[in-house]
């Protein structure tokens, strides 16, 4: 009997522990789905049946009259935002309260690769951003452009090999190889040649980064359910040795000094020669209300984490957005002709050569790309974590430190109250200011505010150059087996991906 009683007590205690936070939104009068013990509302993600973006999108459409919707990631309360004014408030106006990205489950114990500009929080993020921002000035981007041109020409001549009558290729894979090659050159000073070499090691690393396997899902789930118990568990462990080994070998070849290549590795080495990163803290405040001065050493591990995110973010997001834009252009031949006329007109001014100024003049191409990003943003959600207790100014709602805010970018980009006939691919939307002034607050393919994507201009530049290179030589059409609406991969994590790639028929243009 005693054993049975102990088991019963244990089961009850376990249940109470696994549901301990589940009245958080009820107490605050916020509508939410009924959570499952331990899993909260996040079972679809843990079971790999829906992606983060798909879960957020469904929640967005289920509560059309709410400004805010409650959610539980395991036992952690989260808040989905449906109001453009609140989006602006969180990302920009009240950034001091929401400066954390929120992907790290533990504030003090963060695995090495997660200490990068995208995932890092607090002072590490602030000092890294401060130190690295000068790498993305217009002058530095212009100096990088010859590297883009070289890869864009390889894309035209090596990657797209089809007969005069045309041939079917996976646009997703082709654009991934192009962006991988570019990031290899600009980030690492390496000629990876993923466009010619089928089994490029660099391309394999790119695939591995975004292959979120069951082992990683379980590790992430345990960290979210039991953050204190499993705080030392590493989700990115399988990538550490490859990334650290690659970065260390490149730095050793350069004797840990800038080489004059002006790539991302050089930038980090230059940053290291300047000594420790010093600045005002956003975590530690003195009794008089002023911030403490903090100092962080730019170690080799910290540099490797930045290289990791530069590579991961730089190639995957651009590959996703450019291939989806090609997909929509294939299904809209009239729009494609306008884009090609825009490209041809500009290139004619520059002796048919891609260059920095030419890309900046391709206005209609830029609009088409922005429209592709609207319909299928690479980052389908944005997340921010509340750094300290916060009261929404015009609402009777206070949330605690640690509550994560989710902004459903994919859903908002496709909401007819912000974009008329959102299912239509219409680049003209971006030729003028938005009719609805609130639309600019929810068009967020690169984020907004102090934590907006630092590489936005670089990503835009390489994407437009890749599209111009393809469309100046080829026209794209739906392939016999091309789905009209690509199926989103439910196992995709931060960056959205599709199942089965994006097969398109490429036909050489006759000029």
Whole-number Å distance between alpha carbons of 282 and 291: 7
Secondary structure of 139-186 in HEC code, one letter for each residue = HHHHHHHHHHHHHHHHHHHHHCCCCCCCEEEEHHHHHHHHHHHHHHHH
Q: How far is CA 241 from CA 174, 202, 293, in A?
A: 27, 14, 34
H or E element, residue 241: helix 237-253
**What is the CA 397 to chain-centroid distance, rounded?**
30
15-22: long-range contacts, CB 8 A cutoff, minimum separation 24: 18/75, 18/225, 19/75, 20/75, 21/72, 21/75, 21/76, 21/77, 22/72, 22/75
Name the residue with tokens 């088409």.
368
271 assigned to a ligand binding site: no
**351-377 exposure pattern, b = at least 16 Cβ within 10 A, e = fewer:** eeebbbebbebbebbbbbbbbbbbbbb
Residue 504 near residue 477, CB atoms below 8 Å: yes
Q: Which two tokens stand for residue 307?
A: 């290289």
**What is the CA 163 to chain-centroid distance, rounded?**
36
3-state helix vs strand vs coil in the chain, percent to 5: 50, 10, 40
Among 160, 162, 168, CA closest to 479? 168
Q: What is the dihedral of CA 154, 159, 160, 161, to 10 degrees?
A: 110
Please give the annotated binding residues for heme, written as ranges. Answer: 453
Please give the annotated binding residues, written as ranges. Answer: 453
């Amino acid at each position: 009997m005693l054993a049975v009683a102990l088991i019963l007590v244990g089961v009850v205690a376990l249940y109470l522990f696994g549901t301990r936070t589940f009245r958080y939104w009820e107490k605050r009068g916020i509508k939410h789905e009924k959570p499952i013990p331990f899993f909260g509302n996040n079972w679809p993600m843990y079971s790999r049946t829906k992606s983060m973006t798909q879960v957020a999108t469904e929640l967005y459409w289920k509560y059309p009259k709410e400004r805010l919707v409650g959610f539980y990631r395991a036992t952690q309360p989260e808040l989905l935002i449906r109001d453009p004014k609140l989006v602006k408030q969180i990302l920009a106006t009240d950034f001091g309260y929401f400066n954390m990205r929120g992907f790290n489950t533990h504030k003090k114990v963060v695995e090495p690769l997660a200490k990068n500009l995208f995932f890092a929080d607090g002072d590490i993020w602030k000092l890294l951003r401060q130190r690295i921002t000068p790498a993305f000035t217009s002058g530095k981007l212009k100096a990088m452009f010859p590297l883009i041109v070289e890869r864009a020409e390889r894309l035209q001549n090596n990657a797209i090999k089809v007969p005069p009558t045309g041939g079917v290729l996976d646009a997703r894979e082709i654009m991934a190889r192009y962006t991988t090659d570019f990031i290899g050159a600009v980030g690492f000073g390496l000629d990876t040649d993923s466009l010619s070499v089928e089994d490029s090691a660099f391309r394999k690393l790119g695939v591995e980064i975004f292959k979120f396997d069951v082992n990683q899902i379980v590790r992430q789930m345990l960290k979210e359910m039991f953050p204190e118990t499993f705080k030392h568990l590493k989700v990115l462990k399988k990538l550490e040795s490859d990334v650290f080994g690659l970065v260390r070998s490149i730095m050793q070849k350069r004797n840990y000094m800038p080489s004059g290549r002006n790539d991302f590795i050089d930038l980090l080495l230059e940053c290291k020669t300047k000594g420790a990163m010093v600045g005002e803290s956003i975590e530690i405040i003195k009794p008089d209300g002023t911030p403490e001065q903090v100092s962080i050493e730019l170690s080799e591990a910290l540099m490797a984490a930045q290289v990791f995110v530069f590579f991961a973010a730089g190639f995957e997001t651009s590959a996703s957005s450019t291939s989806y834009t090609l997909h929509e252009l294939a299904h809209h031949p009239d729009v494609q002709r306008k884009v090609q006329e825009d490209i041809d007109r500009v290139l004619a001014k520059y002796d048919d050569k891609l260059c920095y100024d030419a890309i900046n003049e391709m206005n209609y191409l830029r609009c088409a790309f922005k429209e592709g990003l609207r319909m299928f943003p690479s980052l389908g959600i944005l997340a921010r974590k509340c750094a300290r207790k916060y009261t929404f100014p015009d609402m009777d709602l206070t949330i605690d430190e640690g509550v994560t805010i989710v902004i459903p970018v994919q859903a908002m980009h496709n909401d007819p109250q912000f974009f008329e006939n959102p299912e239509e691919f219409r680049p003209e939307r971006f030729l003028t200011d938005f009719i609805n002034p609130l639309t600019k607050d929810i068009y967020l393919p690169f984020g907004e505010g102090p934590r907006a994507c630092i590489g936005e201009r670089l990503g835009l530049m390489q994407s437009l150059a890749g599209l111009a290179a393809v469309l100046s030589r080829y026209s794209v059409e739906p392939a016999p087996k091309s789905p009209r609406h690509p199926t989103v991969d439910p196992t995709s994590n931060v960056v959205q991906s599709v199942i089965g790639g994006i097969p398109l028929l490429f036909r050489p243009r006759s000029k």
